[in-house]
Each structure stands twice: as structure tokens, then as C-alpha cells.
Amino acid sequence: MSHKSGRHFLQIPGPTNVPDRILRAMDGPTIDHRGPEFAELALDVLYDIKAIFKTEQPVLIFPASGTGAWEAALVNTLSHGDKVLMFETGQFATLWSNLARRFGLEVDMVPGDWRSGVKPQDVEDRLSADIKAVCVVHNETSTGVTSNIAAVRAAMDRTGHPALLMVDTISSLACMDYRHDEWGVDVTVSGSQKGLMLPPGLSFTAISMKALEATENSSFAKSYWHWDEMLKANEKGFFPYTPATNLLYGLQESIAMLNEEGLDTVFARHRRHGEATRRAVAAWGLEVLCKNPEEYSNSLTAVMMPDGKNADALRKVVLEKFDMSLGSGLGKVAGKVFRIGHLGDFNDLTLAGALSGVEMGLRLFGLAGAKGGVDAALVYLAERAGKK
Ligand SMILES: *Cc1c(COP(=O)(O)O)cnc(C)c1O
């Protein structure tokens, strides 16, 4: 392998670029996870992570990818044969529903066009009496479409239905505003490798009292994922098994960085980069996959290729010529879209570089008309510089 100078541009929507501060924080000795120094670290991060979810209720940290937290959410609160309401917003919602079916849950899947979010009216219409949980992906990473969680909650409240509300925030936490308590969410799952800027390996679960009560009636077998075991051990700053100690050093640093910048500034930054990217796409004469402007994702943008042009071939050009990784189209939109990740440790110039790589790639790919996108983004970024 030959040496490539400069940094690789990792512009997939997760894992995201891990900042040097976090890498350095993780570069320490792995300590005794039953000792006092560890307990201090764990109590610290278990408390401080709550502010990121905007919750005062417990947040659990499992050594796992986000998928583990999906599974834990279902097996702790539900039982075989229970019915859940899910929405086909894209590939991640589909994967979560597949997982649910494998456990013998009955999934009522509301079909979707992979270009729009959950419609609150659908929530109201489909909430039959036997539904035990409503599961929604906040930011559908395969499409760059968000769903309005407060509106989903309001729709559930209008029916007075007692179902649990479960939300996947794996690619929205610490990117876009999210309020576990205020929005009345019962289970929020997330992961380390996206907005939190950490390597993969930690999953997060914020739990409401109602979700905790539901665990008492859950008859699914579980051991590793048992919330109760985790909660009990966490009280004193420990885990029921070996935790991912060095990732927790990283998490402590990540939370410190988010607090230093301020969550509102973090969200404004993601908003600015989302908008700048969409302006570039429009100038290129291309279309974003997300149909409704109020549902645009600020974590990533999925861009549709013109008919007859394969998005993976473009991604290959960009990787080979400019050392940048773009996200591929997943599931139904494979080959039809490419995704630009603009989440995590990211600033205006990183975005300018990423968009430059895409624009040069489009040109080499024979889309000669795709010009002026970088310029449109730069004009907007300059206009917004230093503002929220
Ligand atoms: C990345 C992602 C997942 C999958 O998480 P893993 O950490 O790969 O298990 C699930 N949902 C969403 C919305 C994601 O972005």
C-alpha cells in the first residue's frame, strides 16, 4: 500500500471522524473495572450523558453497536407475540422491524416511500388497541429524512393510547435537538460512532419510568441485555461484566467537548452544514432524496443520481482520486443515491473540502453540468460565519 498524504475524508454518516482530543483521551491504561477509579469515571459519564439526551432518567451504556440497544429495547419491555407499530422510513427502520420479527413480535409496518418521515396521522390511524409499542427512527440515515418525534408523541396523546414510544436517535443524538423527557419518549436508543464522535462500540439507552415498569411484565429471555442487572450495578458505578473502559474515557471527553461548544451551537452548526450541502446539491442540478424541507436531516444528505448513472461508480471515483469515503445507497436506494455525512467533528472548511471532492468527482464522472455547488455553499457559509 502506498502512503497517502493528508487526512482521509471520512464523509460517511457514521462512523464519523474521531477528533484527536478523543483519541488522546482513550490512549490511557485500561484500569481495574471493579476499582474506585473506574467507579468515579462511570458515575461521571452515566450522569453527564443524561444532559445529551435531555433526560433526568437513567441512561444505560452497553458495550455494543446501536443494534444491540435496539434488541435490548424490545426484549426488556415486550413479550413474544406482542404487536408493535413501525414505519418504513428507510433501511434502518426496516432492519429494526426485521429484528423485532425474529423475536416473534408482530410488526404492523406502515409502508413508506423512503423520501418522507412518519406522518402523525398514520400514528393516530394505526394505533389499534393491541399495540404495545410505537417504534420510530428519528433520523433515517439511509435517506436523510427526519421524523418529528414531538408530533408523534402528540398523536399518541390525542388517542390516549398507553403504548410505549421507542425512538432510534443513533444518527441524530448530538447533531439535532432531541428531548427524551419533554417529548415523553419511553426508550431512546443511540450509538457512539455518529454525533458523539467516538469509535464504534458503545450503545446508549435512555429509559422512562413507564418503560421500567413494563420490564416487570416482559417474558422474553434475556441475560446480557438485562436492564435491571445493568441498573443495579450502575448505581455504584459498576457494570455486570467488563465494560469498554477506554471508550468510556473517550465518552467523557466527547461530553466535555459538546458542553464546551454548547449543544445549541452544535445543533446550529449541523443546521448550517446541512443547508450549505443542500444548496450545493441544488446548484449541481441534482435532487436530495428527502421530499419535505421540514424533514431535512442535518446529519447527512442523500443525493439522487440522474437516471442511468450509478452512485457507487461515482463513490469509487471519489475514493480513488480524492481519498474520500461517501456513504452508499442502502436497501431500496442502492446505487441510486450517495450520502454525504456532515455530522460529528466537522467545521466549515471540512465541509468545503468534502463538497469539493464531490464536485470534482461529478466532473470526472461525466456530469459536466454539475458545477457551482461549492461556490453556493461557500457563499452561504461566509454569510452565516460566526452566527447561530
Ligand atoms: C448507524 C445506525 C444504526 C445501526 O447502528 P449500528 O451501530 O451499526 O448497530 C441504526 N439506526 C440508525 C438510524 C443508524 O444511523
CA distances from 283 to 138, 277, 355 (A): 28, 10, 12
Residue nearest to atom 6 of ligand 1 (CA): 66
- Sheet containing strand 300-304, strands side by side: 9-11, 324-328, 337-341, 300-304, 287-288
Whole-number pLDDT of residue 231: 98
CA–centroid distance, 160 to ligand 1, in Å, is 30
- Ligand 1 contact via 141 beta carbon (within 6 Å): yes
Whole-number pLDDT of residue 119: 98
- Ligand 1 contact via 88 beta carbon (within 6 Å): no
CA–centroid distance, 190 to ligand 1, in Å, is 8
Whole-number pLDDT of residue 2: 80
Q: Which atom of ligand 1 is nearest to the CA of 203?
A: 7
User: pLDDT of 359-368, one tens digit each?
Assistant: 999 999 999 8
Instruction: Give just the sign of the alpha carbon dihedral 56, 204, 94, 103.
Output: negative
- Ligand 1 contact via 152 beta carbon (within 6 Å): no
Whole-number pLDDT of residue 74: 98
CA–centroid distance, 189 to ligand 1, in Å, is 10
CA–centroid distance, 29 to ligand 1, in Å, is 29
Q: Which three cell numbers stand for residue 331?
A: 436497501
Residue nearest to atom 2 of ligand 1 (CA): 170
User: pLDDT of 256-280, one tens digit each?
Assistant: 999 999 999 999 999 999 999 999 9
CA–centroid distance, 67 to ligand 1, in Å, is 6
DSSP 214: H
User: pLDDT of 64-110, one tens digit each?
Assistant: 999 999 999 999 999 999 999 999 999 999 999 999 999 999 999 99
CA–centroid distance, 32 to ligand 1, in Å, is 30
Domains of the chain, with CATH numbers? 9-16+262-384 (3.90.1150.10), 20-259 (3.40.640.10)
- Ligand 1 contact via 92 beta carbon (within 6 Å): yes
User: pLDDT of 332-381, one tens digit each?
Assistant: 999 999 999 999 999 999 999 999 999 999 999 999 899 999 999 999 99
Q: Which atom of ligand 1 is nearest to the CA of 65?
A: 7
Backbone angles phi, psi at 161, to 5 degrees: -75, 140
Pocket test of ligand 1: the residue of 61, 139, 141 to mutate, having most ligand atoms within 8 Å of its CB, is 141
Q: Which three cell numbers stand for residue 17?
A: 471522524
Using CA atoms, how far apart are residues 140 and 119, in angstroms rounded to an integer? 14
Which of the four pLDDT bands, split at 50, 70 and 90, describes residue 160?
A: very high
- Ligand 1 contact via 170 beta carbon (within 6 Å): yes
CA–centroid distance, 85 to ligand 1, in Å, is 19
Bridge partner residues of 59 (DSSP): 206
Q: Is the pLDDT of residue 1 over 90?
A: no
% of the chain residues with pLDDT over 70:
100
User: pLDDT of 177-226, one tens digit each?
Assistant: 999 999 999 999 999 999 999 999 999 999 999 999 999 999 999 999 99
Burial class (CB within 10 angstroms; exposed 0-12, middle 13-18, buried 19+) of 266: buried
More confident residue, 2 or 168: 168
CA–centroid distance, 300 to ligand 1, in Å, is 13
Q: Is the pLDDT of residue 319 over 80?
A: yes
Whole-number pLDDT of residue 82: 98
Q: Which atom of ligand 1 is nearest to the CA of 191?
A: 7
Claim: this prediction has a pTM higher than 0.85: yes
Whole-number pLDDT of residue 224: 97
- Ligand 1 contact via 137 beta carbon (within 6 Å): yes
User: pLDDT of 141-154, one tens digit each?
Assistant: 999 999 999 999 99
